[in-house]
Amino acid sequence: MTVNGTGRIQRSETGRDLILERRFNATVEDVWASITESDRTARWFGSWTGQAGVGNTITVRLGFEDEIPESEMTIVACDPPHHLALTAVDEYGSWHLEARIRADGAGAVLVFTHHLGETDDASQAGPGWEYYLDNLVAAETGAGAPDFADYYPALAEYYRSAA
């Protein structure tokens, strides 16, 4: 299968932002549930445990990675059902992620932002988030899950050029 890069990179106050959008034939509340409820995040990214709430840290079990690693994420902002921001620090670096959901006609649009530092490699992050967000779409529509091999290294150059 051939996939195309859909994300864009733009300058921000803190460096660069990797921004991707996905449209859903669903309500804002349903998309919100897909990115915040552990049983639903498990279908496309990974399950999580812990106490939800701003300032709290949750443990995410990355269900689609080799060896299913765990990562701690701190909830920075949560304004249901429109805005969620998380940070994480692991062996791969520091991650500052945001999701914003808005109504769009009869459906909803998810705008996902990975705030990149000046030295973060968009050619690594971009293909991964394309895969995960397409996996989210597949989980929501009942379509077959995508294959990560279709995303990386195929989209690496797209994101290297965009950066």
For residues 87 and 103, what is the distance between their CA atoms, to the nearest angstrom?
25
State pTM to two decimals: 0.95
Per the model's pLDDT, the better-predicted residue between 124 and 91 turns out to be: 124
**Two structure tokens written together for 108:** 């909803």
Lowest mean per-residue pLDDT among 7-11, 66-70, 158-162: 66-70
Q: Minimal CA–CA distance to 21: which of 108, 88, 115? A: 108
Q: Which residues have C-beta within 8 Å of that of residue 91, sequence separation ≥ 6? A: none
Report the percent of the chain where pLDDT is more than 70.
Answer: 100
pLDDT given for residue 118 in this prediction: 80
User: 155 — phi, psi (to 5°)?
Assistant: -95, 0
pLDDT given for residue 71 in this prediction: 92
156-to-44, 48, 132 alpha-carbon distances in Å = 21, 28, 15
pLDDT given for residue 1 in this prediction: 80
47-to-53, 60, 79 alpha-carbon distances in Å = 16, 6, 20
For residues 73 and 89, what is the distance between their CA atoms, to the nearest angstrom?
8
For residues 98 and 121, what is the distance between their CA atoms, to the nearest angstrom?
18
For residues 60 and 136, what is the distance between their CA atoms, to the nearest angstrom?
16
Q: Over the stretch 126-153, which tens digit does the pLDDT of each residue have?
A: 999 999 999 999 999 999 999 999 999 9
Q: Which domains does the chain have, with CATH numbers?
A: 8-162 (3.30.530.20)
Report the percent of the chain where pLDDT is more than 90.
Answer: 87
Instruction: Return the bridge partners of 115, or none.
Output: 17, 96
Q: Over the stretch 21-67, which tens digit does the pLDDT of each residue have?
A: 999 999 999 999 999 999 999 999 999 999 999 999 999 999 999 88
